[in-house]
Amino acid sequence: MALERWGIDPAKVPQQPFLPIVRPEGPSFLDTTACLCALRPLPDADRLTGDGWRFERDEAAWQCIGNQTQVVYNATTGKWFKSKNGKGSIDDLPIYDASNPPKAGEQLVWDTRTRTLKPLEDNKRLSVYDRDCTGKNQSSFSTSFYRSYQQILDNQLPIDAAPCWRPGALPLQLQGVESWTKDGCKEGFLCMNNTINSLPQSCPPNEMCTVGRLSQMTCSYKGENIGMGPFEPIVCQQGYYCPLEDEGKKKIRCPKGSYCQPGASKPTPCATGSLCPEGSSFERFMVPLIVLIVIDILLVIGMFFLIFRQRWHSTSKAHASTLKRHKTMRAVRATITGYKELPEGQDNEMAPMNLSYSPYAPYSPYDMPRREGRPGHGFEAALARGSTDSSDDQRPKEAEASPQLKAFVDSMRRAAEATNFGLSFRYSDLSFHPKKAVKPVLQNVTGSIEQGQLVAVMGGSGAGKSTFVNVLMGKTSNTGGIVAVNNTPGKMKRYKKLTGYVPQDDIVLPELSVYENIVHSARIRLPRTWKKAEIEAHVESVIDCLELSHVRDSRVGSVGKPVISGGQRKRVSIGMELAAAPMAIFLDEPTSGLDATAASSIMRTLKAIAKLGISIIVIIHQPRTEIFELFDNLILLGNGQTIYEGPQPEAQAYFEGMGFHFPEHSNHADVITDIITGNGREYNAKGDVSKEALISNWSASRKTKTAEDFERRSVRSTMLGDTGMRQALKKRGAPFVKQAWLCLCRAMVQQYRTKGAFFAEMGLAVLAGGLLGLANNPKNGIMFVGIFHEPYEVLSTAIDFISAPQFALLIAIAVGLVAGAPGVKLFSEETLLYRREAEAGHSRFAYFIAKVLSVFPRMALGCLHFTTPLFILSVPIINWGLAFLTNLLYFYCIYGLASIVSMVVRREDAPLFATMIALITGILSGSAPPLASVKDWRMEWLWRASPATWLAEIYFGQLVAPFSYLYKVDIASRETGFELDRKWMNIGVLVAIGTAYRVLAFVGMVLGHRLRR
């Protein structure tokens, strides 16, 4: 009966309770602790006496021993039990006979002193192997014992008693008596055959199991986890749990509403609404999917509703229009297509200024010219009736002015808190010398600009026109000279709330309507004491006077995709400044890009505004004759110095006095431009026509005024208007909170109007999340496999420390692709607008905060569209809410990083740069190369500067830490370099990094134009 039949030395083999050591002499079985129980005669039964039970020779009792090597028929140790029948014989009874079982409730011991059986009083008197004997038949154990015995009788190998399923393999005992007594079966394992008499063992795996373990799979057969020997512990199968309180003896199917990952000792409850049928090994979050579907359905319904409402309004307007006038081919096309075509003349650029216009009725190019004495409705009324200078009799008579013009004039007076609301400028020896330049760009420029004048600054390329205006407005540093406003010397920056600047390019927001662009400027820059109704009334008067009422609610559009005409865009740009009730307006090339008629219309409008008392300074190049004749004064520059400064009608006489002649019927503006650019030989055959000569002649001919005289006169007249100016400046501009709110509302409207980009971003987020989820779907949410705790390490499969970091790496890369380009457009598309508004006195920080807050809903929806399909398909074992928060914070970081890029990179290159930097940031997540290797390189600081590393540490901790009861997670932490228990610290760092990015972006916004150079 020995193990030599297997070629195995019995001394080297752990316990083998299924293998009979001796031939059974009668009924035998293995109890629940693998003790061998045999019905046998009592020792020396023929001499039995005493006060215990008395047995006759044909009587027998059950003896259960844990260590079979003692031979049950020879030893008197272990536990004894009376038979159920009270007496019995073992003669001719088979081994499996169960007709006379033991009374398991009455535990006895053999007293060698009295030679009797006595009740067991002290369990510690027994050996550790015998203490747990129960005397209760364990059918599965006994069956294997019986089969082994029969196989031995048949001279066969006792397969059922084999120590390992692999022939000739020796088991390795995993737990000793002390370990088993103290710890029992380890948490997460199934130890159905293990007892104190069948301690856990491990066996060499067979070929199939070896391949499986190397592939990170548990040994299995027909879908069930198996050991490589009868006493090898088995990790609890996924979809089941092995309760710790049952000492690993039970495997229970995971109930509905819970999931059981591999090695589960208890079911993990699923979140409310999650899909977790019976036997689940992961949780499928359905509530986020339902929320996402509802949101998307509402978005689609809302989009179709808005489209339908817009079409309905357009159809209603077209129908109402047909009732008022005859139906033309244009109206027919509008009815068929649903789009109303704007007439070419609706911006009044092609119409003469003397045509009648009413802001409350559609303009028709067929309107009859206004009769003499008939009042106008726009700024042309001021052009027709004179100026509003200091003499009352030269102002337009308010009784004759249109309501719109009177409303505008009244608003200007209330904003300026004075009857005259223009600014005058006096400047002496203005100069500008850049730090690295050899010679100054502007020097010795002296002159004045009176209130209510239309002044043209002219000169050739590089003459210093823009520099002069920038110095005069106080927009440039490193300057010299003296500037006085209304005879009050001081820095021009203090008056930026009282002046307007219209750049050469029409810097307006294309997503907003004409009204929205203008009213925002008014709400930000008008006196904070004005009520909402007063502001809106002022804006309406500006729109009416600029003759933009018919396109009031039309979007401005971009240059590439225009909605209104170029002339109308220019009027909108001017209206944004007029809405702020400025006392002076500077314009850079207002006629650039316009046709001749539109340019003339714009200049006549500016002339009319100047007639109201507002000072208008225009940089212009080679104007047409009718435009040139509108100017009150000219400032002609060459080589950064003055060539002429004075009234426009006197310019011809001045140059003729220098020997130049003006051909008959010539455009005097062209002649003067040729002269001041040094190309005047055609007009002066003998004299010196160089720019240096022109500059010297002006210096000699102008009235000499020393700087001291200028300053003395300025100081003497300071009190004339300084006090009122200071009061006006104090009241100008909305407070910070209101500016932030207005900018936020505007930014949200922009987000709403760019629906195409929004839906594209959401679609990309769904695609990225879905593809990433599909890539990780085969893992069924298990992204970590480690080394089992002692003493079961030898049962471990191939480790997987990299799946969790790689999952985070892919998330970081995907979010970078989704959010990089949209994030950079947050600021890059509005760089010029921001600079324009900042120079006009808008709060930089209010604008920045508003733009940052405006994309939070977009970030949240993008994160929802990304995270939901990702988790539906990859089903990682991590809380969905925590994962969503982590992903959202990474979106927050990428948007902040993209904002930095938008501040320092040109608009055309910004999306590409942002995407590249986002990818680099994602790669620096600590996945590959591992963060542990980076620490050895002393480069951890660089990886820790990337938000992806903190994202990866959150995911690693949440995917690995839950298995700490099963695996040695500290080894995984050490090998990868990630910490397991810093969840909230990592979240806090992500918030800090995203915020730091925005701080840098704000600094870049302030200094960005310098960094781009």
- Whether the Cβ atoms of residue 672 and residue 636 lie closer than 8 Å to each other: yes
792 and 905 part of one domain? yes
- How sure is the predictor about 859, in pLDDT bands with cuts at 50, 70 and 90? very high
Q: Is the peptide bond before 929 cis (omega within 30 degrees of 0)?
A: yes
Q: Long-range CB contacts (< 8 A, 24+ apart) of 371-375?
A: 375/400, 375/401, 375/402
User: What does the alpha-carbon distance between residue 632 and residue 200 come to, in Å, rounded to a whole number?
Assistant: 106
Beta bridge partners of 501: 586
Average pLDDT across the chain, whole number: 84
561 and 637 part of one domain? yes
Residue 641 lies in a domain: yes
What are the structure tokens assigned to 549, written together?
A: 């009422």
Let me know the angle formed at the C-alpha of 365 by 359 and 370, rounded to the nearest 5 degrees.
70
User: What does the alpha-carbon distance between residue 358 and residue 377 come to, in Å, rounded to a whole number?
Assistant: 6
What are the structure tokens assigned to 76, written together?
A: 């008197």
123 and 7 part of one domain? yes
585 closest CA partner among 814, 840, 308: 840
Q: What is the pLDDT averaged over residues 547-572? A: 86
Q: What is the pLDDT averaged over residues 516-522? A: 93
Q: What is the pLDDT averaged over residues 330-339? A: 45
Range of weakest confidence among 515-529, 589-603, 938-952, 972-986: 589-603
Q: What is the pLDDT of residue 385?
A: 54
What are the structure tokens assigned to 967, written together?
A: 């695996």
pLDDT of 365 over the 70 cut: no
Q: What is the pLDDT of residue 50?
A: 43
75 closest CA partner among 36, 131, 46: 36
317 and 419 part of one domain? no
More confident residue, 1 or 684: 684
- Whether the Cβ atoms of residue 430 and residue 483 lie closer than 8 Å to each other: yes
pLDDT of 353 over the 90 cut: no
- Whether the Cβ atoms of residue 783 and residue 804 lie closer than 8 Å to each other: yes
Q: What is the pLDDT averaged over residues 509-517? A: 92
pLDDT of 241 over the 80 cut: yes
Residue 428 lies in a domain: yes
3-state class of 220 per DSSP?
A: strand
Q: What is the pLDDT of residue 664?
A: 86
What are the structure tokens assigned to 659, written together?
A: 């020997």
What are the structure tokens assigned to 516, written together?
A: 């929205």
User: What does the alpha-carbon distance between residue 24 and residue 72 come to, in Å, rounded to a whole number?
Assistant: 9
183 and 252 part of one domain? yes
Q: What is the pLDDT of residue 6?
A: 53
190 and 259 part of one domain? yes
540 closest CA partner among 422, 356, 411: 411
More confident residue, 561 or 888: 888
Whose tokens are 């190998």? That residue is 157
- How sure is the predictor about 392, in pLDDT bands with cuts at 50, 70 and 90? very low
pLDDT of 234 over the 50 cut: yes
pLDDT of 319 over the 70 cut: no
Q: What are phi and psi for residue 725, nearest 5 degrees?
A: -65, -40
pLDDT of 383 over the 80 cut: no
The model's pLDDT over 170-228, given as tens digits with 9 standing for 90+, comes to: 899 999 999 999 999 999 999 999 999 999 999 999 999 999 999 889 999 888 999 99
321 and 391 part of one domain? no
Residue 371 lies in a domain: no
315 and 444 part of one domain? no
More confident residue, 990 or 376: 990
User: What does the alpha-carbon distance between residue 945 and residue 993 come to, in Å, rounded to a whole number?
Assistant: 8
Whose tokens are 């000219």? That residue is 634
User: What does the alpha-carbon distance between residue 766 and residue 772 come to, in Å, rounded to a whole number?
Assistant: 10
Residue 669 lies in a domain: no
Residue 660 lies in a domain: no
Let me know the angle formed at the C-alpha of 471 by 467 and 475, rounded to the nearest 5 degrees.
100
- Please say which residue of 127, 160, 193 terminates a domain: 160
- Please say which residue of 106, 125, 160 terminates a domain: 160
- How sure is the predictor about 3, in pLDDT bands with cuts at 50, 70 and 90? low
pLDDT of 765 over the 90 cut: yes
User: Helix H segments across 16-160?
Assistant: 139-153
CA atoms within 13 A on the CB side of 455: 26
The model's pLDDT over 598-607, given as tens digits with 9 standing for 90+, comes to: 888 888 888 8
User: What does the alpha-carbon distance between residue 456 and residue 169 come to, in Å, rounded to a whole number?
Assistant: 104
More confident residue, 367 or 751: 751
Q: What is the pLDDT of residue 849?
A: 95
More confident residue, 269 or 752: 269
Range of weakest confidence among 82-86, 338-342, 727-731: 338-342
Residue 690 CB burial class (10 angstroms; 0-12, 13-18, ≥19): middle
The model's pLDDT over 81-131, given as tens digits with 9 standing for 90+, comes to: 998 887 666 767 889 998 889 999 899 999 888 888 899 988 888 999 999
User: What does the alpha-carbon distance between residue 991 and residue 997 come to, in Å, rounded to a whole number?
Assistant: 10
Residue 852 lies in a domain: no
Question: 171: which DSSP letter?
Answer: P
395 and 247 part of one domain? no
Range of weakest confidence among 255-259, 567-571, 788-792: 567-571
Beta bridge partners of 195: 198
Range of weakest confidence among 359-368, 452-461, 529-538, 967-976: 359-368
Residue 527 lies in a domain: yes
Most confident of 6-20, 147-161, 760-774: 760-774
329 and 430 part of one domain? no
89 and 130 part of one domain? yes
Chain-centroid distance of CA 27 in Å reads 75
Beta-strand relationship, 442-449 and 425-432: antiparallel
Evaluated on CA atoms 676, 678, 682, 688, the torsion sign reads positive
Beta-strand relationship, 442-449 and 488-489: unpaired
805 closest CA partner among 921, 974, 970, 954: 954
Chain-centroid distance of CA 307 in Å reads 29
User: What does the alpha-carbon distance between residue 740 and residue 730 come to, in Å, rounded to a whole number?
Assistant: 19
pLDDT of 552 over the 80 cut: yes
Q: What is the pLDDT of residue 4?
A: 55
Q: What is the pLDDT of residue 12?
A: 56
- How sure is the predictor about 394, in pLDDT bands with cuts at 50, 70 and 90? very low
Domains of the chain: total: 5
Question: 61: which DSSP letter?
Answer: E
Q: What is the pLDDT of residue 227?
A: 92
Show the domain range for 226.
Answer: 168-269
42 closest CA partner among 70, 91, 75: 75
Range of weakest confidence among 50-54, 350-354, 361-365, 407-411: 361-365
User: What does the alpha-carbon distance between residue 694 and residue 637 come to, in Å, rounded to a whole number?
Assistant: 10
pLDDT of 545 over the 60 cut: yes
- Whether the Cβ atoms of residue 734 and residue 580 lie closer than 8 Å to each other: no
pLDDT of 358 over the 90 cut: no
- List CB contacts of 650: < 8 A, sequence separation 6 or more: none
Residue 760 lies in a domain: no
- How sure is the predictor about 413, in pLDDT bands with cuts at 50, 70 and 90? confident
User: What does the alpha-carbon distance between residue 60 and residue 305 come to, in Å, rounded to a whole number?
Assistant: 94
Q: What is the pLDDT of residue 419?
A: 62
Q: What is the pLDDT averaged over residues 297-323? A: 77
Q: What is the pLDDT of residue 13?
A: 60
**pLDDT more than 70, % of the chain:** 85
Q: What is the pLDDT averaged over residues 276-285? A: 94
Q: What is the pLDDT of residue 864?
A: 97
124 and 73 part of one domain? yes
Strand residue runs (E) in 391-449: 425-432, 442-449
What are the structure tokens assigned to 776, written together?
A: 């990780």
CA atoms within 13 A on the CB side of 97: 19
**pLDDT more than 90, % of the chain:** 46
